[in-house]
Amino acid sequence: MPSVCFYFQVHQPYRLRNYSIFDIGNRSDYFDDAKNYQITRKVADKCYLAANAVIYDLIKKHKGAFRVSYSITGVALEQFEKYAPEVIESFVRLAETGCVEFVNETYYHSLSYLYSKAEFKEQITMHRKKIEQLFKQTPVVFRNTELIFSDEIARFIESLGFKAVLIEGADSILDWRSPHFVYHVPNTKVALLLRSYKLSDDISFRFSNKDWNEYPLTADKFTNWVSAVNGNGVVINLFMDYETFGEHQWQATGIFDFLKALPESILKNKDNNFLTVSEVVEKYPPISELNIPNFISWADMERDLSAWLGNRMQINAAETLYKMEMQVKRTKDKQLLEDWRRLTTSDHYYYMCTKWFSDGDVHKYFNPYESPYEGFISFMNVLNDMRTRILTSKKEEEMAKKIVSKQSPKSTAKLPETKTKEVPVEKSFFLQDGRILRTLKDLKDTLDTMDDSIFYHHVSLDRNDFANWVRDVFKLPDLAVKIANAGNQVETKKAISNYLSK
């Protein structure tokens, strides 16, 4: 009795404008509002509104037997609020049926897990709050951007309290196994729901392909394939971009008619049913373990990270961006942080992909650039402009500090110097996640967002890197002892704060 689990991904990035090297220092409106409006509006009309209406009718018609799950990125939701508020309304209406579940991901649809766990965690929280605010639901299932996943991510996600993760049913991890069961990574409880890429792609890629030997795909034919799983699996996870309906597959292909007919066809067989993602986890406990030592994703044929981080431009762009994280956050400039975060969106890196550029294919889709090179150029120019913004605001920060120290005559000359001292690069603290700390304040601020995995990489029973750094570089043995005794982030932070406010 296989269950069918529909999950749709809804995402629209903030596309950058063509930002020239001559714009650096002259303008900081990086995003092409006109284009973003245009695309959001177009896809809203062709896909989101049309498909939501169909889904709503199906839920009503089948009196709750038809159920679906969504993940709508924070940046997509924001753009709907701005450019197509009725899309939000229609999703709220779907949420109110009780047959729709929302999945948590990173607010910005980012690759942050790969570069900054702190940022990753913050973006997940942001997204959760947005879902709670709009749809009055607290998500319990997670999906990482483009289904990027590995053993390591499983453990991290579990520590955040999620029950399940959606991942790609990639051949490389399954071997002889079937994607139609629930699995888990060794030593974790978080359940893995595997995308059935064959059946999902039959709808999202092949539906209108006249060269396909199964063309045309009818609801009954698809139901037969679903029913054929009976006895060899428990759940068929149909995960796809929501834009499949009306955008990737135009209305004229009959995709909406297919969608309208499918639930009835599937439910005709009393053994079949529809479930949302968390219902799958409740109903079907993991049957076995899966090892996923390398990163997988749902992109391209390779099903790895190469669509976003496959060439030197992409890697350079991502590394440069995340190296700026601490500096950006230190400025406390909300607009700067928002701009920086919008650049974490994976699409920007996808546009820079040269892998299939010569053939011109799916990467072209909604790609605002003529070539991957243009994508890289605009992105790097924007980063350089942000750098100038950081530098100017840093100056302001220093000036503010000077004023404070003038006003407090008690402070000795030496003390404020250690408090604000920025150590040279060779004496900087290199955090395991790649961030670099140069002042005591850096350390204090970082502790707010430092994950256990990072903190305890540097702190163990017989070693405390932070204490050693404070002792050796800042020559503050007393503070070092306090830090060494602190043992967790909160206490460590307290010790540093006490010293700085002395």
Partner 1 sequence: MRILMLGWEFPPFFAGGVGVVCSELSKALARRGEEIIFVMPSGPLQPTAGTKHLNKFLIADKDFNEFTEIHESVAKSIKLNITIKTIESLLNPYITFDEYQKKYSAVKRFMGKEMGFMGEEGGELYGKNLIEEVYRFAIRAISIGEKENFDVIHAHDWTTFPAGIVLKKLTGKPLVVHIHITEFDKSGGQHANPEIYKIEREGMVEADTVIAVSNAVKERCIHNYYIDGGKIVVIHNASTPMVSTEHARKADVEGRPKIVLFAGRVTLQKGPDYFIEAARLVLQKNKNVLFVMAGTGDMLNRMIEKAADYGMADKFIFTGFYDRKDAERLFGMADVFVMPSVSEPFGITPLEAQYKKVPTIISRQTGVSEILKHCLKVNFWDINALAGKILEVLAYAPLKEELKEKGFQEVQLITWDRPAMECIKIYNKYYKPADKTDKKTKTKKSKKA
Nearer to partner 1, 41 or 387 (CB): 387
Separation between Cα atoms, residue 118 and residue 489, nearest integer Å: 13
CB 440 within 8 A of CB 423: no
**From residue 264 to residue 303, what is the string marking binding to partner 1 with x (rule CB under 8 A)?**
----------------------------------------
**DSSP letter assigned to residue 106:** -
Residues 108-147 that bind partner 1 (CB under 8 A): none
Nearer to partner 1, 280 or 353 (CB): 353
Nearer to partner 1, 288 or 358 (CB): 358
Nearer to partner 1, 26 or 407 (CB): 26
Residues 328-367 that bind partner 1 (CB under 8 A): 354, 357-358
CB 354, min distance to partner 1, A: 5
Nearer to partner 1, 20 or 172 (CB): 20
CB 36, min distance to partner 1, A: 22
At 4 the three-state DSSP class reads strand
Exactly one of 105, 119, 122, 146 is catalytic; name it: 146
Separation between Cα atoms, residue 107 and residue 71, nearest integer Å: 10
CB 111, min distance to partner 1, A: 17
CB 9, min distance to partner 1, A: 29
Residues 252-271 that bind partner 1 (CB under 8 A): none
Q: Candidates 5, 148, 377, 496: give the one binding partner 1 (CB under 8 A).
A: 377
CB 30, min distance to partner 1, A: 16
Residues present in the chain in total: 502
Q: What is the largest CA-CA distance in the chain?
A: 84
**From residue 50 to residue 89, what is the string marking binding to partner 1 with x (rule CB under 8 A)?**
----------------------------------------
The DSSP annotation for 420-446 comes to HPPPPGGGSEE-TTS-EE-SHHHHHHH
Spatial neighbors of 235 by CB under 8 A, at least 6 apart, are 2, 3, 4, 5, 180, 181, 182, 193, 275, 280, 284
Torsion of CA 142, 147, 148, 149, to 10 degrees: 60
Nearer to partner 1, 169 or 375 (CB): 375
Question: Interface with partner 1 includes 381 (CB under 8 A)?
Answer: yes
Question: Interface with partner 1 includes 371 (CB under 8 A)?
Answer: yes
CB 128 within 8 A of CB 139: yes
Q: Candidates 33, 152, 374, 491: give the one binding partner 1 (CB under 8 A).
A: 374
Helix then strand then coil, in percent of the chain rounded to 5, is 55, 15, 35
| Region from 37-45, 109-117, 150-158, 311-319 binding partner 1, contact rule CB under 8 A | 311-319
146 is a catalytic site residue: yes
- Letter string b/e over residues 262-297, b meaning 16 or more CB atoms within 10 A of that residue's CB: bbbbbbeeeebbbbbbbbbbeebebeeebebeebbb
Number of residues that bind partner 1 (CB under 8 A): 21
CB 416, min distance to partner 1, A: 38
Give the count of beta carbons closer than 10 Å to the beta carbon of residue 90: 21
Residues 312-331 that bind partner 1 (CB under 8 A): 312-313, 315-317
CB 434, min distance to partner 1, A: 18
Separation between Cα atoms, residue 72 and residue 51, nearest integer Å: 14
CB 20, min distance to partner 1, A: 4
User: Which one-letter amino acid corresponds to residue 323?
Assistant: K
Nearer to partner 1, 28 or 208 (CB): 28
User: Which one-letter amino acid corresponds to residue 246?
Assistant: G
Selection from 450, 461, 452, 500 nearest residue 484 by Cα:
461
List residues bridging with 245 in a β-sheet: 249
Spatial neighbors of 131 by CB under 8 A, at least 6 apart, are 102, 104, 137, 138, 139
Separation between Cα atoms, residue 174 and residue 168, nearest integer Å: 10
Residues 17-36 that bind partner 1 (CB under 8 A): 20-22
List residues bridging with 437 in a β-sheet: 429
| Region from 79-87, 198-206, 305-313, 472-480 binding partner 1, contact rule CB under 8 A | 305-313
Give the count of beta carbons closer than 10 Å to the beta carbon of residue 173: 23
Nearer to partner 1, 236 or 383 (CB): 383
At 3 the three-state DSSP class reads strand
Q: Candidates 211, 370, 426, 462: give the one binding partner 1 (CB under 8 A).
A: 370
Nearer to partner 1, 141 or 377 (CB): 377
Separation between Cα atoms, residue 470 and residue 466, nearest integer Å: 6
Give the count of beta carbons closer than 10 Å to the beta carbon of residue 161: 9
CB 105, min distance to partner 1, A: 28
Q: For binding to partner 1 (CB under 8 A), which residues are involved?
A: 20-22, 311-313, 315-317, 354, 357-358, 370-374, 376-377, 380-381
User: Which residues belong to the active site?
Assistant: 146
